Amino acid sequence: MRSFDFSLLYRLADRLALGRVLGTLFAARCRRHLARLDRLDVARAQLRTLIGMVHAQQRTPFGRDHDFRRVRTIDDFRRLVPLREEAPVGRLRLTYPASEREAGASSWRAALRTAFAMLVHAIPRARLFTRPIHWLEEKVVSLDHFPLLMRPVVRLASGPGDAPPAVVIGPPDRLPSGENEHLLGAICTQFTDMDALRRRLGERALLLQLLTTPSGPFAVDDTRFGRFRLLPEHEAFYEFVPAESARAAKPARLCLSEVKVDTAYELVVSRPFAWAVRTGLTLRFDNPAAGLFRLAPAPVKEVVKTGRPRAAPLADVPVSLPLCAPANRG
């Protein structure tokens, strides 16, 4: 029944008039979404997100081991949940149990809604619904990850015989190359060299990047400001370690309300299935209150006495997220 329903929606969406109606409705939703995002108190949203995640995970093994019942403030969380080792950013994916995949789906859905809002804002008279939207890697996102209004025109790209898409979504190695008169935009779902990818796609298509960790997306290009924007209500809590103390035994952990403009910080991400994970990604904020930042070169890693680097090169090794030992509960 589900396949029949969606085949009917596909046939209806292929009609130009319905595509224009869907496009108008979705563009209105996108404008409302951006207006709400601009008014959002990011620091308060982050606190709500953390408390909500901790409350939901109290009965899990990790929550019991780290006394999530006692977490009432950000300081409680920092004391009970220590930092975990760095994980590669945006190159590999992990396989999680079904409940954790559902939580990841919610995060992806919110991130894709924000990315498409940026596309609608940046592309004049965008005709996103008059041609199909292709996603290119089924293991990363699925149809359930997309906003409801978009699902009639979103399809998994299966081969060269597919109709030319309006937007493609996927990793950089699967995005098309060369000019395409129908391609309006592309959303890159992995960390990559954006300048080279823009040259490859041509000047017509607008390219957006979703910055991701192995546990899910955490930022999207904001075309209005030319900066990345943190996703503050997307089932992720962000902490920031000052770059100068990143190699300390117990580095300082700051929340978004404590960071300073134009200072380098290493990003730490907490999600319901990956708590306090260091990403190795260095950020510099232009507007912390709005969550706007730019990427900064990663600091040179220290070399320990064994002669081996303390941390592995970014995204060139298999993903490993060791379990976090319980911290001092004093």
Number of domains in the chain: 1
Asked if the structure places residue 330 within a domain, the reply is: no
Mean pLDDT of 28-36: 89
**Among 67, 63, 56, CA closest to 103:** 56
Residue with tokens 């029949």: 4
Q: Are 89 and 279 in contact (CB under 8 A)?
A: yes
CA atoms of 168 and 200, how far apart (whole Å) = 14
Structure tokens, 162? 């597919």
What does the radius of gyration of the chain's CA atoms come to, in whole angstroms? 21
Contacts of residue 179, Cβ cutoff 8 Å, sequence gap at least 6: 202, 203, 204
pTM, two decimals, is: 0.76
Does any domain span residue 132? Answer: yes
Residue 131 near residue 166 (C-beta atoms within 8 A): yes
- When pLDDT is cut at 50, 70 and 90, the band that residue 125 belongs to is low
Answer for the pair 274, 53: CB distance below 8 angstroms, yes or no: no
Q: What are the tens digits of pLDDT across the range 67-85?
A: 999 998 999 999 999 998 7
What residues pair up with 277 in beta bridges, in sequence order? 84, 269
Q: Please check whether residue 190 lies inside any domain of the structure.
A: yes
- 121 part of a folded domain: yes
Tell which wins on pLDDT, 22 or 322: 22
CATH code for the domain in which residue 63 is found:
3.40.50
Is residue 277 in some structural domain? yes
Domain that holds residue 213: 2-296
